[in-house]
Chain A
């Protein structure tokens, strides 16, 4: 089956630093990937749609200058949380769109804690 990985799985950083999260499709190519954020006891909320070779599309209320998305290849999308603050602490999850089935395959998530 299609596998999506995320790195790192967990990160703790100081307030004001930037953190990069990688999302990789391991055995298939994904022209489209999605980034979600999930706060404790809440559902997933879509942040942005990442398209290979073009700019990401952000959902309303998500700051594109704070959450930088780069989809430089068909197997890798990165999310950089710039100048992170404690309120950015969350579980960040990516998914990759399958080319054949139109199904989304999810990564295991990255837990970000900003001190």
Chain B
């Protein structure tokens, strides 16, 4: 299975943009790039996903490199509530139950 690599931690200031990188150099053509985040003492929550094109939703934007070997999750204006561990996960583009393999993720700290 293709693996993802993320920095262990990042820090940013409130109301500033945050760019969270993820490397997935062994990604295959059937892999979707998913991002989840886990707030303290809670289960993970879905953030965004994409395949080739950049994606935007109410929570974040996802920028995918042209070769798909890396992607960046963008929080346009961080708030204190965005402090969480962010996980970048590859999920195969096939129907049916698929296991999610969580790496260590990036622990994002937001300073007031």
Name A's B-contacting residues (CB within 8 A): 4, 6, 32, 34, 36, 43-46, 49, 51, 91, 93-95, 97, 102-109, 111
Contacts and interface: CB of A to CB of B under 8 A. Distances in A.
Contact of A103 (B38, B46, B87, B104): B46
Majority secondary structure of chain A interface residues (helix, strand, loop or mixed) = strand
Contacts of B44: 44, 93, 95, 106
A108 B43 contact: yes
A45 to B, nearest CB: 7
Given A103-B46, A106-B45, A109-B42, A97 B102 contact: no
Interface of B: 36, 38, 41-46, 87, 91, 95-105
Contacts of A102: 91, 95-96, 98
A74 to B, nearest CB: 14
Contacts of B101: 46
Majority secondary structure of chain B interface residues (helix, strand, loop or mixed) = loop
Nearest to B98: A102
A49 B100 CA distance: 11
Contacts of A91: 41
Nearest to B94: A102
A51 B99 CA distance: 13
A104 B36 CA distance: 10
Contact of B100 (A94, A104, A109): A104
B41 A95 contact: no
Contacts of A93: 43-44
Contact of A43 (B41, B95, B103): B103
A40 to B, nearest CB: 11
Nearest to B46: A103
A60 to B, nearest CB: 12
Nearest to B45: A106
Contacts of B45: 106
